[in-house]
Structure 1
Amino acid sequence: MLVDLVHYLTLPAPLAHRRFGYVRDSVWLRSRSRRCRAAWAPHLAAARAVVRDAVAASPGRGTAVVLGSGLLDDVPLPDLAAAFRRVVLVDAVHPWSARRQARRFANVTLLTMELSGALPLLSGRADDLAPALPPVCSDPETDLVVSANLLSQLPILPAERIAGRCPQTAEAFGRRIVAQHLDALSGLRARTCLVTDVEAVEEDRAGRVVARTDLLHGLDPGEPERDWIWDLAPFGEAGRDFRIRHRVIGFTDWRG
């Protein structure tokens, strides 16, 4: 608890991102990832394997961009840094562990950006969603863009805000955010590697499914190259008598 508080208080982040809950969620994710290290290991290995295969298949070696870089647990940063002249890590918050890893490589830079595009709208500074991707994604020198376990996360905080104001529109708003990210990725010249969880399943100790949740709000990225199960919250993590498992899909070259 004390370590989490220190991370929360000292983690560099724009004030708007802190107020919106991104620092809090980053600290929570770090804490859960440590508690569930063994349960998460197969998922993280599978995600890194998809990215490595995308790196190997990328014809260019200019710039690689990682959207939703987060803790970097699911991102093989050494492979990216060795393969590309420049690597840009993009997220609303860059945890201390990710900052330490990035400092090991002279060609890795951090870009702080809220990727749902909803923050200006919900802050009253815009009339619609902001662009979903940073300009570097469309740069002629960019040869690989990775959306790393990000797509399902994008609508969470914005939809919660909308639900507090107008519950009946929250689902549609979440769908818009997911659709915008997919539309933006589909328009890129660069190879696009997409890894995302698509469904959450809650099971009891007898193996009965208690609940299912569509994490992409009804949108379908298409038939994946690979899929696997992520034991997100083993028994005892979210509750004593149930666990939460996510279905994850991966594409080394997603084209919409």
Structure 2
Amino acid sequence: MNRKFTISLLVVMLVIIGLTMVSEAASLGDRILYFGSTGYDVRQLQTKLNHWGYNPGMVDGVYGRQTENAVINFQSEQNLRIDGFAGRETINRLLGKTTFSYAAQNLHKVNNSVEAVKASKYIMPVNQEEINLLARAVYSEARGESYQGQVAVAAVILNRVKDKEFPNTIKGVIFQPWAFTAVHDGQFWLQPNSQAMKAAKDALKGWDPSHGATFYYNPAKVTSMWIYSRPIITKIGRHYFAG
């Protein structure tokens, strides 16, 4: 019995060592990297991020939170889908295997048609009016929050668009009766700054710091106790995000 156990233990150890060796030997581009990944290819990723001017923290082969944030910032600036994963498209851009097209990045500025904006990296077809409305919502509801908190507010609006319990357009969600305080007290019509606009676009590219939330609230400003019945997903700054 002891002999069988010893043999089983040795097999498990050999498998673990084998997987570790594969991880250590992998070159950048051989696999998708994400939070928690380790190995030589992660070190290569961190080195490339440093060369591009994005700080991944220590070049130690560990895909930690700072490396993930550097990838997100790179994806945002390079007009890639924002997910924090170093997949084929992100790695190819880092390695210089694809040419960044500023024409594609600015395609949505040509006109206000859905088709023009749809050709960008956004997760849903939108027109310029909807982008502006989303930026106004971000600025009026979260201008005192961190950048991540502002993206999260935009993401909540987009999550509602995708949820059958809410209107299926950005405009419909924002102007749904009593949905957002800023719409009713007039702050919504304040001119959004460039950061609010960028936050709106980053949410449209797929970054969701709220992790799928469809509600958010500041406990200091709650007017209806009903909101406390919603399960909390995360907290960013003064806002709680709930499902």
Q: TM-score, normalised by structure 1?
A: 0.24
Structure with a larger share of its residues in helix: 2
> Which has the greater radius of gyration?
2
Structure with a larger share of its residues in strand: 1
Q: Could you say which structure has the greater relative contact order, defined with CA pairs below 8 angstroms and 6 or more residues apart? A: 1
